[in-house]
Amino acid sequence: MTKLAIVGTGNIAAGYLTDLRTYPGLEVVGGHDADPAAAAAFGAAHGLPIYGSLDELLADDRVDVVVNLTPLFAHVPVTTAALRAGRHVFSEKPLAPTPEEARGLVELAASLGLRLGCAPFTYLGEAIQTAWKLIRDDAVGPIKLVYAEVNHDRIESWHPAPQGPYRAGPLFDVGVYSLTALTAMLGPARRVWAYGTILKPDRVTLSGEMFSPQAPDFSLVVLELASGATVRLTANFYVGAGTRQSGIELHGERGSIHIADWTNFDSEIRAGLPPEPVPLLGEPYRGIPWGRGIAEFTGAIADGRPHRCSAEHAAHIVDILAAAAHSQQSGTPVEVTSSFPAPLPMPWAS
């Protein structure tokens, strides 16, 4: 039995905890949040013991893995403290705010002989695994052009604390889902161009508080991948999902592959010329099983094999994000030189 502790009891913690409790080999023994009132309320609502401090959590010898669900600004200090305390860590995305910090975490984990994994893990789902199998099987020929649309709505209409995501921007907050899936399937990026702007400067929280985005609420990014594919990705906190421009399109020499939804594991997949529905591999999970990435991570530790959602891959994504931010300011392309071990498909999709 692998014992987990959650740090950060915010918006996504309930989804993680609920799903993690469905895996027979995992047990969540407690949680912690920098906001004691929020932590206490979460613990009471979910029957979860709450630690009074991060130090108290890390002093609990039962904890094998720390699940870092804190906001981006806290990722590095929490992950660093957990690694130095001898705990494996699975972090929410992005791994760190800067490439230097991301590489530092990768190096720290390696030096201590510990595992470090990072979301997004949605490419482990049935839909994207099916699309990836089609690519590996050369179903439409070599992929040359990709369109990825990340329309994530005006999140202040539902998010209880939207200031954090608006501080990072949609590219950092949700664009990483498509970036991670595409680089897992097609390999690392080598050059990045980007444009960003604020479409709606005046925002209002659910409680009526006015605020303004501190990062572009719309980003357009063009990537050249090492594989030769060109990717055009847009990400925004303005347009809702379900528009005609949504999902991911991968275009090859002999046809196209369409992923209708880059989040849900049961998304429709179409392929061919013209694209027609394709049966998904395996029995698709409806929606997102939030614990699947951690279950794969802890299973890899138990089996002594590499885990799929690697810190090296996550650090490469941070390099892409930093390159895009620099390109948005300079108006010029930015080279990316980092790489990562190619993840394996899931066993049932190989």
Q: What is the domain partition of the chain in residue ranges?
A: 2-118, 123-284+308-349
pLDDT interval class at 246 (50, 70, 90): confident
DSSP H/E element including 230: strand 230-236
User: What is the chain's percent helix, strand, coil content, to nearest 5?
Assistant: 35, 25, 40
Listed range (45-54, 163-172, 180-189, 238-247) with the worst mean pLDDT = 238-247
- Domain at 2-118: CATH architecture: 3-Layer(aba) Sandwich (3.40)
Residues in Cβ contact with 282 at an 8 Å cutoff, skipping those fewer than 6 apart: 126, 129, 348, 349
Structure confidence by residue, pLDDT tens digits, 292-315: 999 999 999 999 999 999 999 999
- Whole-model pTM? 0.97
Structure confidence by residue, pLDDT tens digits, 204-222: 999 999 999 999 999 999 9
Apex 119 CA angle, 116 and 121, nearest 5: 115
* Cis preceding linkage at 97, omega within 30: no
Write down the pLDDT at residue 242: 77
- Locate 320 and state its tokens: 């892409």
Q: What CA–CA distance (Å, rounded) separates 119 from 282? A: 22
Q: Which CA distances in Å does 171 have to 10, 158, 165, 194, 275?
A: 20, 19, 10, 11, 28
**Do the beta carbons of residue 232 and residue 225 sit within 8 Å?**
no
In the numeric block, the tokens 């789902």 are attached to 125
Overall average pLDDT of the 192-206 stretch: 97
- Domain at 123-284+308-349: CATH architecture: 2-Layer Sandwich (3.30)
Q: Which CA distances in Å does 135 have to 27, 130, 141, 164, 345?
A: 36, 9, 8, 36, 12
Write down the pLDDT at residue 226: 97
Structure confidence by residue, pLDDT tens digits, 110-162: 999 999 999 999 999 999 999 999 999 999 999 999 999 999 999 999 998 89
pLDDT interval class at 241 (50, 70, 90): confident
Residue 195: how many CB atoms within 10 A of its CB?
A: 15
Q: Is the pLDDT of residue 255 over 90?
A: yes
**Do the beta carbons of residue 216 and residue 197 sit within 8 Å?**
yes
State percent of the chain over pLDDT 70. 100
Paired sense of beta strands 230-236 and 218-225, if any: antiparallel
